[in-house]
Chain A
Amino acid sequence: MMLQPEIAVLRFGLGARPGDLAAAASDPRAWLRAQTRGPAQRAGTTELAPSNEIFEAVLAAREERREERLEAATPEEVKAAGAILREAYQPHYRAQVLARAQSAAVTTQPFGERLVHFWANHFAVSADKGAIYGLAGTLENEAIRPHVNGRFAELLTAVEQHPAMIVFLDNQYSVGTDSAAARRAAARLAPASDRPTRRFGINENLAREILELHTLGVGGGYRQEDVTSFAQILTGWSIGGGRGRLSGGVPGKYCFRVELHEPGAKMLLGKRYAEQGQAEGEAVLADLAAHSSTARFLATKLVRHFIADDPPPKAVDRLARAYLKSGGDLPQVYAALIESPEAWEPRPLKFKTPEDFVFSTLRALELTPGAPQEVIHAFDLMGQRQYTPGSPAGWADTAASWGGSDALMHRVLWASQTAGRFAERTSPTEVAGAALGGLLRPETVTAMRRASTGSQALALLLMSPEFQRR
């Protein structure tokens, strides 16, 4: 059975390091609330390059690859040129994954850290797409951490203007059909010939996913014409320092390109937005953040993440009300979550994702990964390669999505590998008590006592029903 400190540390947090349960014991709710103030600092020591530097390195690598390709004489040399880009991204990806695991392993603010992970998954970018390989972690660290305890509108704007999101959802090249750039191109080409011109136009991807996945939700009351109109509003939201249409601006930083922006007033969700350049899109984001559909959509996702796969409607209502009443002030929404009786159900309610499982294991065993491969391997094995949900919808947040039999076997495998490596350093029964407190069942204690080796005992703990849930 989960007592209140266990619930605070295991369900709201990332699992207990020795001492965590005691730290939360006197007032679990206050312990949680204290973690919802100010920017969420990353714990750990790994230094990370900022997104603009990574982007510049990528541009340089692209240039190098182009030249190598031009000079390549053999297929092997062409292939080698292709590897240049991967070599530019890969060290950043690996450092970001390591830094994330270190922070999760050692932070003293595990609820705040879980909220960072929650929002990074809500605003998912996926490292399996081109330049995002090197940039995925920068969205979390640069756009989410500073705003996770602020107003949702600010978080939203920071995310949608982050280079990783713009590149992931292809907005940098989206061009208004009546923009200055499009008109110039038409004037240049029209009289000369009838050869086909490169068509200038919008790309709907960012606009659609903001409406569907970031704010209103798919049933939130928008239509195709709203998507198209919003895409026009967002034309010009781009990044600096590329080639061709993307030249100019600070390399790798958000850049509003007025020459790509569709001029004129636009209608969205029945409201008229006057032409204001970049401010027009920002006004839309502010309105979307204030929309009741957004309140309900975000409340549902938070309740699903912290309470149950099937979100209890009363808890959703409570969070949605807190959101609307506070003007989307996230700490007040978190406070409503903390005060929800449904969140304090003594039975574990959520099956851990592989990410939860790895991070809670690191904390239980007081491990701080020192090299990227130590964690990359675990996530590859269990099917949640960090920063690669594969789609802008992010990773699923229900047991049905993570409970395949093959997936379970991979958990057993990783648990036994990890136990084999670290059992000698630990006393499995002490780890069990510190990690699970009152949640530890007598059956598990018995099974651990009967295990043939210390390592098997530790593997049984990690795979026990109570450690697999939160």
Chain B
Amino acid sequence: MNSLQFIKKLYNGRNCYSDSLTEDEIALLHIPSGVERIVEEMVDANRIVFLTGNPGDGKTYIIRALEPKLTRKKVYIEKDMNSVTDERMNDVISKIVECYHNNKSCIIAANEFPFFKLIRASRELAPELHNELINVKKNIIVYGYSTLQLRRVCIIDLNERNLLDKDRSIVPPIVRRFVELLKDSTGVNPVLDYNIAALQNELVINQLLRLFNLVAMSGEHFAIRDILGTLAYAMTACTVDDEDINGYYYDALFSGENELMSFLAQFDPVLLSKPSLDEQLWNGEKTDGWLMGAPTKWPKELTDESVEDAAKLFKSIKRKFYFENIYAKELSELQPVDYTECERILVKLGNSSSKRGILSMLINSMNRLFLSTDDEKERLRIWTSHNYDLSRETGAAVSTKYVDASDLDLIYPAPISWLKDMEFTPDRLVMKLKKDNTSPRLEIDMTLLRGLISIKNGYPASLLSGQYEQAITQFTQALAATSAARDYGDGELLIANRRDGSRKKIFIEDNKYSFHDGGEF
């Protein structure tokens, strides 16, 4: 099999599965990953290594890449817990326990569900192992410092690995590797030659990287199998015998059928619109800035023959512009604001002055969930609503307390110290009280973060799913029980009419009412 055939089969084909690859093929695909180093270290320290994650995350691949060393050390390996029947489960656990007590290393690769079954079965059979497993599992990802001491068991959860991590993205090395491998296929297909040339260009690679960054910000997990398949298809789709497939990498990237490509489709440049640019691209007036040469044909020229063909060409030129034109920024900056802001927030969170601004924005959006007209940014209001009849919506809420922004902190998760070399992008933020690790926490996943950004940008709070309102209510209610919750002062209470966004102040001091609030605010 030549390199072209080999790469083609990485997309939804035989080569998706490392079991079926020869040692040479494994070596061809070998892109060094932080996880391999971690596994090696753990094996050297005779630890019990559980390598878990989703199918296609590269568990078998990692084991195969380290196989010579593991064989030399006579490490007990269970490559695929999927193939372990319930009857054999006890046997596997016994072997793990033997290694556990005799200071020997072993590696168990298990998809998430078989891993769950193994943990559950170990509860009865090996309580000591079970307890350590549970303890380690809960501490793989930490906020701040962890006091967990690594003992015998080490879990490496590839589900937490983000190979599209901005700083350690696996995309450029894979593209470089494919370009190298495909060089022996030049001259076979002119579009393939074009793709190989284009994907050596720095701007193209940067734009590709930016696009994958947006995916990384989604909080979704994509396996290495999907990433390899996507890039393989983008480069080699031109060699597939199908007249519907336009094989330029920039088109192929948005036309394949794996999970990653389906997700990428929402960032397809054809969805971004800048009327003046669109007009230029349609009429063939944008002739400058093309790194790989300007298009030779423009949509306007096809209008008389077929509008459909003209539209198809327009889409293709727009994508080409996005990747290959030095003025591409004017298009790429139109990518969905909520995604790009998520990225900015995660980048800026390390800076304390930026952090305060982010916190204020989040507080304001959270306040607006309950009262659409609320402008408060420095005080997170604790709203309470209560009713029993589920066929009715609660229209009113009360707030007697708030938590000041200065008492709140925003943190993001990181892998525990011994997993620090793992490629990782935070997929959530946590809001909590400052200097209090036992305080209530609100996990702000990327969907919630995007929702709160949208509220800040003027979208109605009602678009946010009810589950998030429930989560925010539970968080603020839990905060109400802490010493950080402060009364508004002067016995002030707020009552919000959520239907019309109005509110009323009531004052209670020394168990007496005063209703004069000086008008709406």
- Interaction A to B: no
Taking Cβ atoms with an 8 Å cutoff, the residues of B that contact A are none
